[in-house]
Amino acid sequence: MATALDAKRPRRISSILGALLLAGALLVGLAYGTRLGLLMIVGALLGVSLYHAAFGFTAAWRVFISERRGRGLRAQMVMLAIAVVLFFPALGAGTLWGQSVTGFVSPIGVSVVVGAFLFGIGMQLGGGCASGTLFTAGGGNARMVITLLFFIAGSLIGTAHFSWWMSLPAFQPVSLVQAFGAGGGIAVSLALFGAIAAFTVLMEKRRHGRLEESPRVNLSERRWLTGPWPLLLGAVALALLNFATLALAGRPWGITSAFALWGAKTYEFVGGDVTQWGYWQHPANAAALRASVWSDITTVMNIGIILGAMVAATLAGRFAPTLRIPLGSVLAAVIGGLLLGYGARLAFGCNIGAYFSGIASGSLHGWVWLVAGFAGNMLGVRLRPLFFDRPPSERTRAKVS
C-alpha cells in the first residue's frame, strides 16, 4: 500500500503544478492578451523538453573541451540547422502568419567579446547556462537556485555599466539574411554547422578511435511523460518551440533580459533608482520597467520554463531538492551567477538570446558570441577544480551539472 501511495504522489504533484500552469496562462492571457498566455505554455514545453532531453549547453561544451566527446555539440548544430531553415524565410519576408517578425541582430564589438567570454566562465562555475539554470532550478536543484539569484544580481550590475560598455568600439550589426538573402544565408549557415560537426567528429575519433554511441531510449507512451528523451529529440523540440515563439511574440526566444528586469524591480522595491542608468533609458526597457512584470514576454516564458521543468521532474520521480551543498560549490555558484548575469548584458544575450536565437536570426554577432563564449568555457573548465573537490563524472549524455 505504501508503494502504491508513493507512486501516486508524483502524479498528484505534477497534476497540481500542471493546473497551476494552465491557470497562470489563462490569467495572463485574459489580462495581457492570448498570445502572452500561449507563450507561457510554450515556455512550459521548453522546460519539459530541456529537462527530459537533458539538453545542456554547459556540459556539452565541457565534455568536448575535456574529453573531446562531441555528441552534445553536434546536437546543437542540428538544432541550429532546423532553426535557420525555419527562421530565415520568415525574417526575410518580415511577417509570419500575419505577425510582424524581427530577429535578434546586434552590433559586434568589445562588449560582445568580453561579455560572452565572461558568460562562458560563468557557465562552468555556475554549473549551467541561462536555460540550464532555469530548467535545473525548476527540476529541484537547490544549488542552481543560488546561481539564479546571483545571475539576477549580475544582470542588474550589468545594466548599471551598460552605457560605458556601449561607448567602446563596435561594428554595425550584420545580418546574413540581408547580406545573402534567405536562401544564401541558409546555405552559408548550414555549411558552417556542417564544418563544426565534422570538426567534432575528427577530434573525437582522434582521441577515442570511434564516436560515442547514443544511449538507446524506448519512447513508449509513458516515456513521453517521464523521460528520458533522446538528445536529438530535444534539439528538434527546441528549434520548433523557438519558431513558435517567433510566431507568437514576433521575435525569437530570449531569457536574460527578464533577469535584469527582476533585479531592477527588486532594487526599486527596496528604495533604489535605476531610471538614470543608460540601459533603462532605452524606450523598450523603460516601458518594461514601468509596466507589470507579468506583461513581460520573457518573464512569462521563464516562469513557464520553471513550471514545465518541475512538472517533468515530478513525473520522472526525480524532484528531490537538497540543501547539502559544499561550500566550494556554493562559492562557485555565486561567482558563476554574477559572471553569467554581467556577461549576458554586455553581450546582448546569453547562450539562448545571443547564440541560439542570434544565429537563428542570421546575426553575425551570434557567431562571435559562440567563439568568445567557447573560449570562456575553456578557462572555466580549468578553474572548476578550485571550487569542486572532485570533478563530477562526465556522463555520456550532455547534461547540465
pLDDT in tens, 329-353: 999 999 999 999 999 999 999 999 9
Q: Which amino acid is at 38?
A: L
| pLDDT at position 394 | 41
Q: All 3 cell numbers of residue 401?
A: 551539472
Is the pLDDT reported for residue 9 higher than 80?
Answer: no
Query: In angstroms, rounded to a whole number, what is the distance separating the alpha carbons of residues 334 and 32?
Result: 35
Is the pLDDT reported for residue 124 higher than 90?
Answer: yes
pLDDT tens digits, one per residue of 265-302: 999 999 999 999 999 999 999 999 999 999 999 999 99
Q: All 3 cell numbers of residue 239?
A: 528549434
Q: By three-state DSSP, how is residue 171 classified?
A: strand
pLDDT tens digits, one per residue of 145-184: 999 999 999 999 999 999 999 999 999 999 999 999 999 9
| pLDDT at position 251 | 97
Is the pLDDT reported for residue 7 higher than 60?
Answer: no
| pLDDT at position 396 | 39
Most confident of the following: 97-101, 215-219, 260-264, 306-310: 260-264
Query: In angstroms, rounded to a whole number, what is the distance separating the alpha carbons of residues 370 and 355?
Result: 6
| pLDDT at position 390 | 56
Q: Any idea where the domains of the chain sit in the sequence?
A: 11-386
Band of residue 221 on the pLDDT scale cut at 50, 70, 90: low
| pLDDT at position 8 | 60
pLDDT tens digits, one per residue of 51-83: 999 898 999 999 999 999 999 999 999 999 999
Parallel, antiparallel or unpaired: strands 170-171 and 108-109:
antiparallel
pLDDT, greater one: 85 or 1: 85
Q: All 3 cell numbers of residue 344?
A: 549576458
Cα dist. 49→62, 82, 228, 239, 305 in Å?
Answer: 21, 16, 10, 11, 9
Is the pLDDT reported for residue 2 higher than 80?
Answer: no
Is the pLDDT reported for residue 5 higher than 60?
Answer: no
| pLDDT at position 400 | 41
Number of CB atoms found within 10 A of residue 30's CB = 11
| pLDDT at position 140 | 84
| pLDDT at position 1 | 36
**DSSP run (H or E) holding 272:** none
